[in-house]
Structure 1
Amino acid sequence: MTRTPLFGLLTLGILLASCGSTPTATAPTPEASAPQTPAPVTAREYVPGEVIVQLAGGLGAQGLGALEARLGVQSLEQLAVVDGAALLRTRVTDGQSVEGKVAQLQTSGAVRFAEPNWIYQHQATATDAQFTNGTLWGMYGDASTPANGYGSQAAEAWARGSVGSDSVYVGIIDEGYQFDHPDLRGNVWLNPFDPVDGRDNDGNGYIDDTRGWDFAGGDNSVYDGGTRGSLDAHGTHVAGTIGGTANDGGVVGVNHNVTMISGKFLGRRGGTTADSIKAVDYFTDLKTRHGLNIVATNNSWGGGGYSQALYEAIVRGAKANILFIAAAGNSGTDNDAAASYPSNYDTTKDAGYDAVIAVAAIDKAGALASFSQYGRTQVDLGAPGVAISSSVPYNKYASYNGTSMATPHVTGGAALYASTHPGATAKQIRDALLGSVVATPSLNGKTVTGGRLNVSGF
C-alpha cells in the first residue's frame, strides 16, 4: 500500500483492545537519513520536559556533553546508535516548553531531528466476563463446526493439519501477558541465551530477560497482574488470540503451536515512544544476533504524532524480515484523511517493501465495526474484532471489542503461514496474507484489499 505521512492533528490514546503499541529496528538506509518534517506539537500527549533527539552524523552520546549548555538539554539515556550517531532521550534544562525546544533543536545544526517523547495508551474494555461455547467466532470458517464465514477461517486450516509450529516466533509489543495462564504456558518463550543468574549473558543490555523484557518498568517481570489479574489483561487477551493452546478447555488461538515473546512497554500510565523503540529493537536484535525466526510483532496500540525515531526502528525490523502488524484505531475515522500512527507508517522507501500491515475490525456479520478506523490507501484488510473471546488474567477468559482484537488474528495468520512455508520472507508473508483475503462489501473502498482475513487461503 502507499502510505503518505499526514502531519495534521491526531487524537492521542492507545487503541489497545482498540489498538496497539510501538516499534524498533536496524540501521536505516542512506535514504532514511533525510528525515521527514515532523508533525506540529499540538493537542497530543507527551512526557513533560522530555525530547527525543537524533544527533547529527558522527556525534556520539559523549558529543552531546559539549553541546548541552548551549542546547539546553541533558541526556537521560541512549536509545540506539543509528548511522554512527546517538539517538537519545533527553530532558529540557533551560525551562523552555517541549514545543519550543523541538523547534530550537531543529534549527541548531547539531541534531538530525528532535521530537516529543509521545505517550501511548490503551482502551480495552470487557463486554463478557466468561467464555462460553460457540462464542469464538473469530476462529471459525464457513465450513467449520460451528461455522461463520466472516471468521478468520483458522478452523479450516486446522482441519488440513496446519496448526502452527514452535519454531515460529512472534513478538508481542503491548502490555505484558500472563505467561503461566493455562492457555498460554505451552507457547511461552524461555530465553536460552540468558539463564537466570544475575548476569547479562547474551550482551543485549537486559539481565535475565527470561521471557522478554518490561521496558516500562525496566525489569524482567513481563507480567505484573498477580493472582488478582489487576494488570496486563490487554496483552494477555492479545496473546490468547495469537497462540492459545488447543484442547485444554479454554480458548484456542490461530496457532495451536507458536513461540511468543513479550516486549512490554505499556504500563499503568501507558507507554512512551522511547520505550516502544527499545521494544522494537529488542526483537530485531534477537533475530539478527541469535537467528530466532521472529516473523512479526503484534502492535495493538496507537496515539501520538509522527515519530521519525519510531519509524526508523520499524525500518530496522523490516530489514531483518520482521512484519509490524498494527491496529488501525478505534475512533471510527478515515486514516487517509487524518493519519493514525503507528499503523500509517510505510517502510517501502527505506526497506524495499512495506512491513506495516494495518488492520480494521469487522463483526460476526461481516460489517465494519462502528468504532473501527479505515482507509482506502492506509488500512490493508479487516479481521474479527467485535465480541472476541480470549484469555485474561488470572486464568480467566473475557470478550473484548477493538481493532486491538482484530490485529492478533492477522499476526496469528502470519505465523501460521510461516509454519507451512519455512524460509518465507516478510514480504512473501505479507503478500500471502493480503492476496488471500475474501472480498467483503463493508470493506470495499474502506481498505486497500477490500477484503477480510482468510488464513485457510494460502
Structure 2
Amino acid sequence: MNKLLQEQVESILDTVSGEEIDVIVQMEASRDIAARLARTAGRAVRHRRLALTPRDLLPPPYDEGAVKTQAMDKTVATRTRLEQARAATFALKHIQESGLRSLMGNHIVQGALARMLAPTSKSSGPKGEGPNRFWASRAMPLRLNKEELKKLPDEVAGIEDIHLNRRLSVPALLQTRRPEVEEKEVLHSTWGLERCNALAAWGLFSSRGRGVTIGLLDTGVDAEHPDLKGKIAHWAEFDYAGNQVMGSRPHDSDTHGTHCAGTLVGGAGSGRCIGLAPEAGIAAALVLNGKKGGSDAQVLAGIDWAVDQGVDVISLSLGGLMMDPKTPPTYTQAIRSCSEAGIPVVVAIGNEGEQTTGAPGNDLFALSVGATDPRDRVAAFSGGRTQIIYESDYIDPADLPLPYSKPELTAPGVAVYSSVPGGGYQSFSGTSMATPHVAAAIALLLSTTSIRDQEIGMERVSTIQDLIIGSVMELGESGPDHRYGFGRLDVLRAIGFAKKLGY
C-alpha cells in the first residue's frame, strides 16, 4: 500500500465509528491520460498564477490556417466536429470502464457486492451486480467492513484513491426581498441579468442559448413551472448508491433546483426576465434529496449521466464544506473526463465565508464561482482560499506541492429572483445562485459563437474558461484573490472577445 492510500484508509477508519463504511474506490488513469492531465494542469495553473489582469488569460486568436490544413485529412473531412467529439467521448468511456475490471474481479469486492441488498423494483441496477460503476471518475461505491477496507489496497493493484462516500446536504437558502436597485432601476429583468450584460448580449447578437443543453445536477426541477415548461430535455433521479431510479418523473424535492433552473433558462412569466439563456435546454438530474440530502456517489453518477446525454456545460450548485487547504481528489478525474469530452464544469465555491471552500468547487479543474451583491461587493458568506495539492498522479512532481487560488470568478448571488416549485418566484442568496449565472453565460457564448464547431475536447474547455475568466469586470486585487477571483462575470464582453479572436 502506498503512503497516500494508507493515509486515506487511516483517516476513514478514524472518522467513522460504525463497523460498515460506505466508500468510493477510484482506480488509476492510463499513463497517457495522466501525462496529458499533468501537462494541462501545470500550464493552466502557471498561466493564471502569473496573470496580473483578467485580459492576460484570453486565448490566442483562432488559427484558421491550421484548421484548413487539418480539414484536408480524409478522416477529419468525413466527420463533423460533433461526430469527432462523440467518438472521442465513447473511446474515453471504454478506456475508463476497462480500468474497473481488476477491482470487480477481487474477492473482497465480490463478497461486498453479494451482501448488498438487491436493488428495488425502481432501481435500474440489475440484480447481483450491486452499485453502479462510474466511468467518468473510474470509481465504484462499496460498503465494506473495517477489515476489508484495510486489506483492499494490498489486494487490488491500481487503486488510486479511497474516499468516504460523504453525505451532502442541500445548500441553505436565505430568502430575501428584492434589492432596491431592482425595484427602482431594473424594471424588466433581474439585477443579475442586467449586471452581467445578458440583455445587451441578447440584443446585439440575437441569441439566447438556442441549441445548447445545460446539465443541472441538483434537487430536481418543477418541469411544469410556466418559466420552465418544455425546457427540460432530459431527466434522471439517482439514489444514495448512485443507481438510477426507474420510472421517476421530473419533480423538485426542495426549491433549490427549480430556482437554479430559472436562472439558467427561465422566461418572463413573472413580468421579469429571470434566465440568462432562456432558449437553452436542461438535462436535469436529482442528486440531492430535499429532506435527506445526497452523497458523492449520487453526484458522480449524475456527472456520468450528464456526459452521456451530450450536455454542453454542467452546473453544480452543491458541495461539502472543507476547512483544510488540502484538496480532496474525489471529483478530479470526473471533472477532467468532462473536459476531455469538451464539457466545462461550473461549481459553487461554498457559503461558509472567507478561508473556506466546498468540494468539488475547490477542485483544481472546476470553474468555481463566488457571489456578489447589487453593488458589486463580495457577499460575506462567499467562500474562497488558497488550496494545496501535495500529492497527485495528475500533476508533474516538479510542480508539487501546488498552491492555487479559488474561486476563479464571481457572479450575482445575493437576492437573486427566480422560479420556485408551484409556479411561484422568490429571491434567494448563495453561491448556488451565482453558479447558474456562469453556466448560462457559457450557454450564451456557445450559441453565439463558433466555438463548438471549431474546438473539441480539452481545447474547447480551455477556450471557454479563458474567455469567461478573461472577460470579467476586474474587481478586488490585481490578479486573482480569494474574494472576487479575477472579477465579476460579463457575458457581453466574453462574446465580444470571442468574436474578435475569430470565434
Letter matched to residue 300 of structure 1: S
- How many residues align? The count is 371
Structure-1 separation of matches of 2:6 and 2:492: 39
**2:170 counterpart residue number:** 122
**1:232 counterpart residue number:** 254
Structure with a larger share of its residues in helix: 2
Q: Decide which of 219, 234, 242 is 2:246's aligned counterpart.
A: 219
**1:23 counterpart residue number:** none
Structure-1 separation of matches of 2:18 and 2:195: 37
Offset at residue 342 of structure 1 (A): 0.2
Structure-2 separation of matches of 1:147 and 1:72: 54
Offset at residue 333 of structure 1 (A): 2.8
Structure-1 separation of matches of 2:18 and 2:246: 23
Q: Is the 8 A contact 1:240 1:252 kept in 2?
A: yes
Residues 322-401 of structure 1 aligned to structure 2 (within 5 Å):
322-335=343-356, 340-347=358-365, 356-375=366-385, 377-401=405-429
TM-superposition CA deviations, 1:27-75 (whole Å, max 9, x none): xxxxxxx999749336699996322224685735651346655999867
Q: Is the 8 A contact 1:124 1:400 kept in 2?
A: no
Offset at residue 128 of structure 1 (A): 4.1
- Gap runs ≥5 in structure 2: 29-98, 117-128, 387-404, 453-459, 496-503
The structure-2 alpha-carbon separation of the partners of 1:436 and 1:271, relative to structure 1 and needing over 3 Å to count, comes to same
Q: Decide which of 466, 473, 480 is 1:438's aligned counterpart.
A: 473
Structure 1 residue 295 and structure 2 residue 316: aligned?
A: no
Structure 1 residue 59 and structure 2 residue 101: aligned?
A: yes
Q: Over the residues paired in the alignment, what is the CA RMSD in angstroms?
A: 3.8
Q: Is the 8 A contact 1:243 1:257 kept in 2?
A: yes
Q: Is the 8 A contact 1:330 1:403 kept in 2?
A: yes
Structure-2 separation of matches of 1:395 and 1:296: 26
Q: Is the 8 A contact 1:177 1:222 kept in 2?
A: no
Letter matched to residue 363 of structure 2: Y
Q: Is the 8 A contact 1:171 1:298 kept in 2?
A: yes
TM-superposition CA deviations, 1:276-313 (whole Å, max 9, x none): 111101121222xxxxxx22110001116766453222
Offset at residue 367 of structure 1 (A): 1.1
| TM-score, normalised with respect to structure 2 | 0.64
Q: Decide which of 152, 167, 179 is 1:105's aligned counterpart.
A: 152
Structure 1 residue 274 and structure 2 residue 293: aligned?
A: no
Of 70-79 and 434-443, the range deviating more from structure 2: 70-79
Q: Decide which of 180, 200, 218 is 1:174's aligned counterpart.
A: 218
Structure-2 separation of matches of 1:52 and 1:147: 41
Offset at residue 440 of structure 1 (A): 1.5
The structure-2 alpha-carbon separation of the partners of 1:182 and 1:442, relative to structure 1 and needing over 3 Å to count, comes to farther
Letter matched to residue 489 of structure 2: L
| TM-score, normalised with respect to structure 1 | 0.70
The structure-2 alpha-carbon separation of the partners of 1:157 and 1:342, relative to structure 1 and needing over 3 Å to count, comes to same
Q: Is the 8 A contact 2:133 2:140 kept in 1?
A: yes
Offset at residue 432 of structure 1 (A): 1.1
TM-superposition CA deviations, 1:135-164 (whole Å, max 9, x none): 389x969xx999889821212212314442
Residues 234-273 of structure 1 aligned to structure 2 (within 5 Å):
234-246=256-268, 249-267=271-289, 268-273=291-296
Letter matched to residue 105 of structure 2: G
Residues 187-198 of structure 1 aligned to structure 2 (within 5 Å):
187-189=231-233
Q: Decide which of 207, 228, 231 is 1:184's aligned counterpart.
A: 228
Residues 44-83 of structure 1 aligned to structure 2 (within 5 Å):
49-54=21-26, 59-60=101-102, 62-65=104-107, 68=110, 76-81=130-135
What SS class does the counterpart of residue 105 from structure 2 fall into?
helix
- Gap runs ≥5 in structure 1: 1-33, 190-210, 226-230, 288-293, 348-355
Q: Is the 8 A contact 1:329 1:373 kept in 2?
A: yes
Q: Work out which structure has the larger RCO, using CA pairs closer than 8 Å and 6 or more positions apart in sequence.
A: 1
Offset at residue 82 of structure 1 (A): 7.4
Structure-2 separation of matches of 1:156 and 1:244: 17
TM-superposition CA deviations, 1:361-390 (whole Å, max 9, x none): 111111110111023612101111111110
What SS class does the counterpart of residue 165 from structure 1 fall into?
coil
The structure-2 alpha-carbon separation of the partners of 1:301 and 1:77, relative to structure 1 and needing over 3 Å to count, comes to same
Letter matched to residue 221 of structure 1: S
What SS class does the counterpart of residue 171 from structure 1 fall into?
strand
The structure-2 alpha-carbon separation of the partners of 1:55 and 1:317, relative to structure 1 and needing over 3 Å to count, comes to closer
Q: Is the 8 A contact 1:76 1:91 kept in 2?
A: no
Structure-2 separation of matches of 1:300 and 1:252: 17
